[in-house]
Amino acid sequence: MWWFQQGLSFLPSALVIWTAAAFIFSYITAITLHHVDPVLPYISDTGTVAPEKCLFGAMLNIAAVLCIATIYVRYKQVHALNPEESRIIKLNKAGLVLGLLSCLGLSIVANFQPKIHGKQVFWIRLLLVIWCGVSAFSMLTCSSLLYSGSFGADIVQKLHWNPEDKGYVLHMITTAAEWSMSLSFFGFFLTYIRDFQKISLRVEATLHGLTLYDTAPCPINNERTRLLSRDV
């Protein structure tokens, strides 16, 4: 068994590796496109200009989810190790709240740079991120309780539920949170409609020869074709 297969050790490992990859990929992209200076730029500056800001935001969203999972598991571990010490329990709960707020802040910093939008779009997207975060936390919490073993070992394979089944309420909350999180994704993508009305893409085909074996320059002109959208 590899070290990351022991218990839940893969969570902090995945968090660190994925977050580092987000910083590195956005840094490389920003340097390649000459959007920032190569010597120690601000991390936020490497995710300010498109296209690296899209990659930066998407990867940090996933990092925020991994961070929520890691913080929650640590919270449960500390609680299990100190079940009767009220001071530690209070500090543990405070740490959980601060950690979750930090994860929310991470997602907000990654996604919201309202330079071309009004406050209306900003607040809509902020509410959608909060909606998604609450749904993800509810799903994670209830599913952890549901599959903790208190409701039977065969619950993982259970597909049909009745109201009188053990864990039915947790199951319904988990599934509702899952659907709610999916709907928040849809809502967030819908906010891009107005953005995409201001953009068009073109595809350019350049022929370097009439066949795969030609070495002489091709006399045929390049072809540019409008792709997907109209000029605005």
pLDDT digits (tens, 9 = 90+) for 62-114: 888 888 888 888 888 888 888 778 888 888 888 888 888 888 877 777 766 66
Structure token pair of residue 178: 């899952």
User: Which one-letter amino acid corresponds to residue 141?
Assistant: T
The identity of residue 173, as a single letter, is I
Assigned token pair, 212:
């795969």
What sign for the dihedral angle of Cα 65, 16, 93, 74? positive
Q: Are 142 and 173 in contact (CB under 8 A)?
A: yes
Q: Where are the domains of the chain?
A: 9-197
In angstroms, the CA 72 to CA 78 distance is 10
If you average pLDDT over residues 195-200, what whole number do you get? Answer: 63
pLDDT of residue 81: 80
- The most confident of the ranges 17-21, 38-42, 192-196 is 17-21
Bridge partners of residue 223, in order along the sequence: 205
Contact (CB, 8 A) for 135 and 184: yes
Rounded Cα distance between 98 and 102, Å, is 6
Looking at residue 231, its pLDDT comes to 47
